[in-house]
Amino acid sequence: MTPVSPLELVCHPAAPDACVRRIGVAVTRDADGGLGLCYRLEGALDGLRIPVGGLPPERLWAHTCFELFVMAEGGEAYREFNFSPGGQWMRFDFSAYRVRTDSPAMPAPQLDWRRSGDALTLALTLPASALPAGALRLGITAVVEHVDGSHHYWALGHPPGKPDFHHREGFILALPAPTP
């Protein structure tokens, strides 16, 4: 297992977030190529819209959710995962920047959502079969929807301009190929 030190997401500067103090994430890569992530959002949760389920899966990204973008190092194709606090998840495949392709069936990720006090936590595991083989580039992000309907965008880093999690410059975290 290859652990990555806890990372901090930053809010897009165009829309500062008055309700969220921080969003941290820890990443591990298993020897078989699977990924584990643990997101932790801390702040005034009563000021947020936190879905409890029943959303159209293809629109989870339009509400509070944690997201993961994954591509093979040096590639153009990538995969987007959306994880909703209501327990739903969705995946989209892209052959290049915002060019959607069909998504073949894959095993569901393991999701463990917890809400306690001022924290919302998601521990998730993605099997190796859900990911490209070899070295990876990750974009780790979150969409936070406030009760007033405003949205705030968090990521390891933001490319210049408006929030765009699909932009290649947002795939900041490099993970080496797993070593058995």
Query: Tens digits of per-residue pLDDT, 19-70?
Result: 999 999 999 999 999 999 999 999 999 999 999 989 999 999 999 999 999 9
Q: For the segment 111-121, what is each residue's pLDDT rounded down to a tens digit?
A: 999 999 999 99
pLDDT at 1 over 90: no
R_g (Cα) of the chain, nearest Å: 15
Do the Cβ atoms of 7 and 173 come closer than 8 Å?
yes
pLDDT at 153 over 70: yes
Tokens 């765009």, located at residue: 164
Q: What is the rounded average pLDDT for all residues in the chain?
A: 95
Q: Name the DSSP class of 49.
A: -
pLDDT of residue 2: 66
- Calculate mean pLDDT across residues 107-129: 96
pLDDT of residue 117: 94
- Calculate mean pLDDT across residues 98-115: 94
The band of 5, judged by pLDDT with boundaries at 50, 70 and 90, is confident
Integer angstrom CA distances of residue 9 from 67, 98, 112, 130: 12, 22, 20, 24
